[in-house]
Chain A
């Protein structure tokens, strides 16, 4: 009697298919990075002919924040010059703004100063709740 040859039935194991799929899913979920733009906002003044006539502000309503080329900050308020480190700028401005809500903060940056110092100072000013900020340079 001839013995029948047993045929191997070829099969792909599908039990771990879901594991593979979930692994891929988790990989894509965790590596996807959303590129969201974030930054500090400011509205510039108009540059029309009428606007170039200087708007007169009372001296007591202006606080000048001067950043020199080394990034050192001087706050000039009410005729008093005071050197303020970056870490204490927020506290200082918060105090000034709370005393006079109409205070205009004039942020003057040296042309040779790094952009980073200006952004850091602007960030501190906005964090301190200053709403009227003007940018200028020498």
Chain B
């Protein structure tokens, strides 16, 4: 009787020893590359809107206004007449400046109108009203 040799199946194995190395590498990459954006402005709850667009962060100067009418531009509390020169100074540093409002939804519009007039006088004409996406 002739002996039929069985074909030996090649064994396929995925090396799993370095799996943890890969995972840790990814983990370290994400941990190192994550930048926590921390803004120190005042506490506001923003209004909601549907047709909002993305604001380029690099040129944005954020103006915080809370419901009691306190105005803060980049961690400095300012009064309404000072908004003009603060924004003029910022505009001199960055020509493409965007004024970005983070105003509490319950703030009265009178204060906002006064600030907008100050912005017009400072020639900072591109304005964004920040809002949360309405779902």
Contacts and interface: CB of A to CB of B under 8 A. Distances in A.
B105 A116 contact: yes
Contacts of A38: 52-55, 130-133
A63 interface: no
B4 interface: no
Contacts of A135: 113, 116
A10 interface: no
Contact of B100 (A39, A112, A137): A39
Contacts of B130: 37-39
A123 B126 contact: no
B2 interface: no
B123 interface: yes
B113 A137 contact: yes
B49 A119 contact: yes
A41 B131 CA distance: 11
B20 A17 contact: yes
B112 interface: yes
Contacts of B97: none
Interface residues of B, number: 51
Contacts of B24: 21
A119 B30 CA distance: 37
A110 interface: yes
B57 A37 contact: yes
Please report whether the interface of chain B is mostly helix, strand, loop or mixed according to DSSP. Answer: mixed
B20 A114 contact: no
A25 B125 CA distance: 44
Interface residues of A, number: 43
A47 B127 CA distance: 15
Given A18-B16, A37-B60, A40-B129, A24 B53 contact: no
Interface of B: 16, 19-20, 23-24, 26-27, 30-31, 34, 37, 47-55, 57, 60, 65, 100-101, 103-110, 112-113, 116-117, 119-121, 123, 125-134
20 contacts: A18-B19, A20-B20, A25-B23, A25-B26, A28-B31, A37-B128, A38-B132, A39-B101, A40-B52, A42-B127, A43-B126, A47-B117, A47-B123, A112-B110, A114-B109, A115-B104, A119-B105, A122-B49, A126-B51, A137-B113
Given A22-B23, A127-B50, 8 more contacts: A25-B23, A39-B49, A39-B129, A40-B51, A47-B121, A118-B112, A122-B49, A127-B51
Interface of A: 14, 17-18, 20-22, 24-25, 28-29, 32, 35-47, 109-120, 122-123, 126-127, 135-137
